[in-house]
Structure 1
Amino acid sequence: MYIYLKNINKIHFYGKFLYINKANSWLKLNELKSLIFIEILKGNNNFDDLIDKVSKNNFNINYFTFSKIVIDEMKEILEISFKKNKRKKLIYSGIKNKYFPYNIQISLTNKCLHNCLHCYKYSNSIKNKKIDINKLFSFFNYIKNKTPEIEFSGGEPFLYEELDEIINNYYNDFYFSIITSGNWKNNPSPKLVEKFDNIKLTLYGYSKKTHNYFVGNKNSFKKVIKNIQYIQRYNKNLTIQTQVKSNDIEEIENFIKLSIKIGIKNIVFGEVLMIGRAKSNKDNFNNYDFNLIRNNLFSLREKYKGIINISYIDSPKNLSKKNFFNCKAGTLSWSVLETGDITPCTLLIDEIFYLGNIYLEDYKKLINLGFEKYNNIYINNFEKIKNKYKKKGENINNICGSILKK
């Protein structure tokens, strides 16, 4: 009898454990299950041989217990066969007993040609803080072949003059994606556009009036639509992201119809968070119920099924009491700001969430020791964190639904 991996293509080593990506969600294996999985990765697929291997690693396990683990507890990721099959090619990353994240979002600059009503970073065309490319290269050299996914954001990342240089140097080392406003001064080259594995572009209305008002730029809508079409000529992996601003189902459907008209295949709807500029512009956002909108989006998703993929950003369920974040922030996912600061999440830019800085290279300590210390600090100081955000007029749990609730 043989054991094989089942519908798995991404595996990440993190500390003593393995994380398995299945259907775009992460499953954490304990030490015993990680060992079983690693042996299968090595090509040890025979049932009896696996029991022997596991037993030699200080796990007292019999045939019945092993069968229960493999057949019952790991049935979502393993399958049993009575014949020997060919090994499948897998993408795996990280290093055992080290704490490399799986993906990192990097803000290249806080400069942006928009002045969005909801921007949590207050980005605009006047600001011009940008990440140092030489420090970024040193960071990439340390994490390449361990951290597979890099996502660039801003501000507007296409305003970062050295973006071409980054992609050309590290194209074979990472899967690159980018979040763009769709408004830039000069078109990125076709060769640059086609090298991104995924492009997310923000559009904030189905009409010129709605979008331009939201982004604070009277010339934006026409230019963004034109740039969407430019991107599509060289890269089909384009997703439109937008924020819902009202309960108006007709407005949402008109946005979907516009997206279909211009050839978009994927839309993601998100909620406006009451942080950054959104606090002073809250009159624009306080008359909608995102729970109601979810139901409407579900109906529209069914209506346009097969024509366009419609999804929405939702909060993780079943929050853990052991983790401050339930979304893998700080562990499998990091954020690097244009200042070089490392935080668990791009939305959490307060100094209280500081993990390190790529300029100081203290990220090496984070990779060697892991996030657990910070996780415990956040849990033990939850009230302090909550009150600090309260003084700023913000609710920490409204920023991200994955944050521990007490």
Structure 2
Amino acid sequence: MEIHFEIGNQCLLKCRHCSSMASELKEQKKYPDQDMIKLLKGVEGKKDIYLTGGEPLLYTNLDKTLNNLQMQISDIRLGMFTTGIVWNSGEARSISEEYARKLADCGLKVCYFSLYSHLEKEHDWMTKLQGSYKMLNESISHLQAVGVETRFNSVVTRKNMSCFNDIIELAENIGITEVRILKLIKHGRAKECWEEIGVTEQYYKNVIRNALKRKNKLRVTVSGAIDILPCRNDCKRNICPAGVELIYVVNNGDIFPCASVKKKAEFKIGNIGEIDILKKWYLFQTELDGEMLCQ
């Protein structure tokens, strides 16, 4: 079971693909840690928990939240989706060695870093922040040094669709354990930049097939292509796990089956603060037919 929690909307980058337009907002999560704990205690079995945003590294109480989850919930693995860039001494910086150690001590086990190209210039073009590529690599190195598993999240765009094998090769060379190939969702800033970065479904699937032909030394996973690979580990091919093996909690506590439909009110399951939220979630599952929601 995989559960994603948005813990803030702020981000130092202005990535052209961002479905949340996160850098336009500066809100922190509106639900308490105790609501997270209550929800997780109602879920049986092993749970992979990922904190996301915006940029979770900008959340004021990140270490406290990680520690609360680590101490109060059993059978969990704590992770984070991040750009690898923090705000320190009035400027954007990488995760320091000291802060990496603190995050690991608070229970952080795995980090997915957003990488958009194996080339520094192309990555920085996507993030609109010069130096973001170098900072990302420094953050990766510092977290690896304290035993945190590092992975890549890489969104397919018109700019990088021809170089995914190069991205995988880079990942192999620096100790990344997984490259997750992500479908570009036409929300937020991605909608505004679609002429520059948008790709068709067919091009997206061609990227996946080409990557799988390579003799990869790491794990390659994909989203939104269940006819090729399962969307999540331990899930069946041709069945969308959204809402069953995966849920997504947005910044105000509303729960959706997946990040790709978090802007669509018809997919709202309920709110994390509701007393009967688990009952609502189980009822929602009965209405799913296994078809992909991100089409």
Q: What TM-score, normalized to structure 2?
A: 0.79
1:144 is matched with 41
Report how far residue 363 of structure 1 moved: 1.2
AA at the equivalent of 1:184: V
CA distance in 1, matches of 2:294, 2:29: 31
List per-residue Cα deviations over 1:272-314 (Å, max 9, x = no partner). Answer: 22232222211223467123222321222x1xx34x3334335
The aligned runs of 1:72-221 (5 Å cut-off) are: 102-124=1-23, 126-132=24-30, 135-144=32-41, 146-147=43-44, 148-149=46-47, 150-172=49-71, 173=73, 174-186=76-88, 187=95, 188-193=99-104, 195-221=107-133
CA distance in 1, matches of 2:28, 2:148: 29
Report how far residue 341 of structure 1 moved: 0.9
- Give the conservation status (yes or no) of the 8 Å contact 1:181–1:201: yes
1:334 is matched with 247
- Give the conservation status (yes or no) of the 8 Å contact 2:261–2:267: yes
The aligned runs of 1:203-242 (5 Å cut-off) are: 203-242=115-154
Aligned in 2, Cα 1:295/1:347: closer, same or farther, shift over 3 Å?
Answer: closer
The aligned runs of 1:274-285 (5 Å cut-off) are: 274-285=186-197
Residue identity over aligned pairs, in percent, reads 22
CA distance in 2, matches of 1:356, 1:157: 23
1:293 is matched with 207
AA at the equivalent of 1:176: L
SS in 2 for 1:185: strand
CA distance in 1, matches of 2:160, 2:4: 32
CA distance in 1, matches of 2:134, 2:179: 19
Q: 1:310 aligns with which of 200, 205, 220?
A: 220
CA distance in 1, matches of 2:178, 2:278: 37
Matched, 1:255 2:167: yes
RMSD: 3.0
- Give the conservation status (yes or no) of the 8 Å contact 1:315–1:401: no
Aligned in 2, Cα 1:355/1:203: closer, same or farther, shift over 3 Å?
Answer: same
Unaligned runs of 5+ in 2: 89-94, 229-237
- Give the conservation status (yes or no) of the 8 Å contact 1:326–1:403: no
CA distance in 1, matches of 2:20, 2:120: 24
CA distance in 1, matches of 2:209, 2:268: 37
Aligned in 2, Cα 1:145/1:176: closer, same or farther, shift over 3 Å?
Answer: farther
- Give the conservation status (yes or no) of the 8 Å contact 2:109–2:148: no
AA at the equivalent of 1:127: L
CA distance in 2, matches of 1:328, 1:269: 16
1:402 is matched with 292
- Give the conservation status (yes or no) of the 8 Å contact 1:241–1:268: yes
Unaligned runs of 5+ in 1: 1-101, 319-324, 380-399
Aligned in 2, Cα 1:247/1:336: closer, same or farther, shift over 3 Å?
Answer: closer
2:277 is matched with 363
Larger radius of gyration: 1
SS in 1 for 2:37: helix
CA distance in 2, matches of 1:142, 1:268: 27
- Give the conservation status (yes or no) of the 8 Å contact 1:356–1:362: no
CA distance in 2, matches of 1:250, 1:291: 12
1:92 is matched with none
What is the aligned length?
268
List per-residue Cα deviations over 1:297-344 (Å, max 9, x = no partner). Answer: 1222x1xx34x33343352249xxxxxx94232233221101111112
